[in-house]
Chain A
Amino acid sequence: MATTTQPETGAKPAASLSNEEILRYSRHLIMPEVGMEGQLKLKNAKVLLIGTGGLGAPLGLYLAAAGVGKLGLVDFDVVDFTNLQRQVTFGTSDVGKPKSEAARARLSNLNPDIQIQSFETQLTSSNALDLFKDFDIIVDGTDNFPTRYLVNDACILLGKPNVYGSIFRFEGQATVFGLPDGPCYRCLYPEPPPPGLVPSCAEGGVLGVLPGIVGSIQAMETIKLILGRGDHLIGRLLLFDALGMKFRELKLRKNPNCPVCGAHPTITKLIDYYEFCGVRGEEAPGPSLQVPEITPRELKARLDRGDDLFILDVREPHEYQICNLQGHLLPLGELTRRVHELDSSREMVAHCRSGKRSAEAVDFLRKAGFRKILNLKGGILAWSDEVDPSVPKY
Chain B
Amino acid sequence: MPVKVMIPSPLRPYAGKRDSAEFNARTVGEALGRLTSEFAELRKHLYTEEGKLRSFINVYVNDEDIRYLAKENTPTKDGDTISIIPSIAGGLPSIARGGI
- Chain A residues close to B by CB (< 8 Å): 51, 53-55, 76-77, 122-125, 141-148, 150, 165-171, 173, 188-193, 197-206, 211, 237, 239, 248-253, 272-274, 280-283, 331, 333, 336, 354, 356
With A166-B88, A168-B9, A188-B58 as known contacts, state yes or no: A147 contacts B98, CB within 8 Å.
yes
B52 interface hit (Cβ, 8 Å): no
Number of interface residues of B (CB under 8 A): 36
A76 to B98, CA, bound (A): 8
- Chain B residues close to A by CB (< 8 Å): 8-14, 41, 44-45, 54-56, 58, 60, 63-65, 68, 83, 85-100
Summed over the interface, the residue pairs from A and B with CB atoms below 8 Å come to a total of 149
A145 adjacent to B93 (CB under 8 Å): no
Residues of B within 8 A of A143 (CB): 89-93, 95, 97
A199 adjacent to B13 (CB under 8 Å): yes
* Sampled A-B contacts (17; CB under 8 Å): A53-B91, A122-B98, A143-B90, A144-B97, A147-B97, A148-B89, A166-B88, A166-B89, A166-B90, A168-B9, A168-B90, A197-B45, A198-B56, A203-B9, A206-B92, A250-B60, A281-B96
B94 adjacent to A167 (CB under 8 Å): no
With A191-B56, A193-B56, A251-B64 as known contacts, state yes or no: A150 contacts B100, CB within 8 Å.
yes
The one of A77, A203, A211 in contact with B10, judged by C-beta atoms closer than 8 angstroms, is: A203
Residues of B within 8 A of A283 (CB): 94-96
A77 to B95, CA, bound (A): 12
With A168-B9, A188-B58, A192-B56 as known contacts, state yes or no: A145 contacts B89, CB within 8 Å.
yes
Tell which of B56, B64, B85 has the most Cβ of chain A within 10 Å: B56
With A203-B13, A251-B64 as known contacts, state yes or no: A280 contacts B87, CB within 8 Å.
no
Q: How far is the CB of B31 from chain A (nearest CB, A)?
A: 17
The one of A199, A249, A273 in contact with B100, judged by C-beta atoms closer than 8 angstroms, is: A273
A249 to B89, CA, bound (A): 19
With A123-B98, A253-B68 as known contacts, state yes or no: A168 contacts B88, CB within 8 Å.
yes
Residues of A within 8 A of B44 (CB): 197
Residues of B within 8 A of A200 (CB): 93-94
B93 adjacent to A193 (CB under 8 Å): no
With A168-B9, A193-B86, A199-B10 as known contacts, state yes or no: A144 contacts B58, CB within 8 Å.
no
A333 adjacent to B93 (CB under 8 Å): no
A165 to B84, CA, bound (A): 18
A201 to B58, CA, bound (A): 23
B91 adjacent to A169 (CB under 8 Å): no
Q: How far is the CB of B97 from chain A (nearest CB, A)?
A: 5
B89 adjacent to A124 (CB under 8 Å): no
B13 adjacent to A274 (CB under 8 Å): no
A189 to B64, CA, bound (A): 15
Residues of A within 8 A of B97 (CB): 77, 142-144, 147
Residues of A within 8 A of B14 (CB): 333
With A144-B96, A239-B85, A251-B65 as known contacts, state yes or no: A54 contacts B91, CB within 8 Å.
yes
Q: How far is the CB of A378 from chain B (nearest CB, A)?
A: 14
- From B8, which residue of chain A is reached at the shortest CB distance? A171
The one of B9, B60, B87 in contact with A170, judged by C-beta atoms closer than 8 angstroms, is: B9
